[in-house]
Amino acid sequence: MKRNLFYSLIILITAVSCAPKSASHRKKPNILIIYADDVGYGDLSCYGASAVQTPYLDSLAKEGLRFTQAYAEASTCTPSRYAMLTGRYAFRNNAAILPGDAPLIIESHRETLASMLKKAGYTTGVVGKWHLGLGDGKPDWNTDIKPGPLEIGFDYSFLLPATADRVPTVYVENHRVLNVDRQDPIRVDYNRKVGDDPIGLEHPELLKMAADSQHSGTIVNGISRIGFMAGGHRAYWKDEDFATVFGEKAKDFIRAHQDKPFFLYYALPHIHVPRAPNPKFVGATKMGPRGDVIAEMDAMVGAVMQTLKELGLDKNTLVIFSSDNGPVVDDGYADQAVERLGDHKPAGILRGGKYSAYEGGLRVPMIVRWPGEVQPGTSNAVINQVDFFASFAQLAGVSIDQQKTAPDSENLLSALTGKSAQGRRSMLQESFTMGLLDGDWKYIAPVSKKTPDWLADKREETGLQQEPQLYNLKEDPKEQHNVATQYPEKTKELGEKLEEIRHKEY
């Protein structure tokens, strides 16, 4: 009898150990945010594009959940990135597009996605475009540069400090410029020329592509940039190598931390200007460099997904692909983006693009993949990237005080994973003015500050008007009919609701 009992126990233990683990007992999922730059709602073939094919992203969409009403917090990059990482609307910190030598705009005491997930045992990393400032003043690029990502929760960082069209044109790994040379010290200035390196305004014959006056500072790799730089020649990047350099750093991080939960913020420099694809992608589309870098970006997604699969991590990794704002075609460089656009519609049916208060500037592609937890399909749930914070906190089991941390973030984990079709009811939207999305209604406030000179002739396409605008997106998804005068009470209601959000202090 004892022997029978012993064998029964052995069988029971074996059965329990071999049984599939329920979701509640599974290892915490890795989290990978792949954040593209300036990719529009209509720029991917899984969102209707035909002039460019994105097979790896199409596969991600087929295996995951494709969102039709996902939003960046703002129609420009720095504000969107700030909001996503902090769970706070960017206006609360006056976040705007930063120069390349700006100080870190996320305070060291501020909770971020990275620091919150560290509490849950995650190893955290950021690879790619940063553009949230570095240091506490004008950085000295020749020594330790801090505070930076490591001071706000990231364990590792490998960065493009700002954007590819801004100096300094160097990589920063953790606190140091990669390949910094004290015999050739780096100097950066955004107001006047420094050093003897040629600039675009003086030597256009040295350029691979012509540029407007704003982008005609120091020439690096045959491309003139915003701002002026001297020194650091050993540290210069080569634009055509971005996909390889950042791709390898992302894969290295994943390999190094495969044995415990990790959070990787993989911020692609694609498809921001200047568009300089690797030679093997030149001619990948008929749209010239803009189309070719979309194809290259897609391959970057495919490469990191392949690494996850090779390591057996893809089934327990929550992958989110999205973009920081809507698309822009002509953005300072003569790269034939306009001439070779053809029938391609970067924002799909939506009006506007980057910098715009209209949907084309704010509604972005978003795909979520997590096998076994996210049911493949399409979701119409309204969700904002600012909601990642509260949603990931729920996923990781971290309690947050939303009066102090991530006050504008909503826990939409059920919508994010496709378990609910219910998303946000309303959200504030930022461009060079403010807007409010509320159900089917969209309100755009009159411009209250000076429009940048370079946008002065684009008021019609950016929505920067002197009078209030109101659109019913269900009846008018292309935002062609301003009905503010037809519905004065609704216009007043939403305007007051917007002001209430703006003046609520946290």
- What domains sit in the chain, N to C, each tagged with a CATH number? 26-186+231-424 (3.40.720.10), 432-503 (3.30.1120.10)
CA end-to-end distance (rounded Å), the chain: 68
* Three-state DSSP state, 124: strand
57-113 pLDDT, tens digit per residue, is: 999 999 999 999 999 999 999 999 999 999 999 999 999 999 999 999 999 999 999
The average pLDDT across 300-320 equals 98
Q: Tokens for 452?
A: 């940048």
Element (H, E) at 249: helix 242-256
Summarize the chain as % helix, strand, coil (round to 5). Answer: 30, 20, 50
Q: Tokens for 4?
A: 């029978």
- Active site amino acids: 77, 131
The average pLDDT across 364-374 equals 97
pLDDT score recorded for residue 450: 75
Residue 21, pLDDT above cutoff 70? no
| Residue 382 banded pLDDT, cuts 50, 70, 90 | very high
Percentage of the chain exceeding pLDDT 90: 90
* Three-state DSSP state, 408: coil
The average pLDDT across 493-497 equals 98
The average pLDDT across 198-227 equals 97
Predicted model pTM = 0.94
The average pLDDT across 312-340 equals 97
Mean pLDDT, the chain, rounded, equals: 94
* Three-state DSSP state, 487: coil
Q: Tokens for 184?
A: 């050739």
Residue 171, pLDDT above cutoff 90? yes
Q: Tokens for 387?
A: 């909601």
Q: Pairing state of beta strands 30-36 and 317-323? A: parallel
Of 168, 139, 171, nearest to 230 (Cα)?
168
**Does a cis peptide bond (omega within 30 degrees of 0) precede residue 365?**
no
| Residue 26 banded pLDDT, cuts 50, 70, 90 | low
- What count of residues does the chain have? 506
pLDDT score recorded for residue 27: 81
The average pLDDT across 22-36 equals 78
Buried b (16+ CB within 10 A) or exposed e, 345-375: bbbbebbbbbbbbbbbbbbbbbbbbbeebbe
| Distance between CA atoms of residues 438 and 471, nearest Å | 11
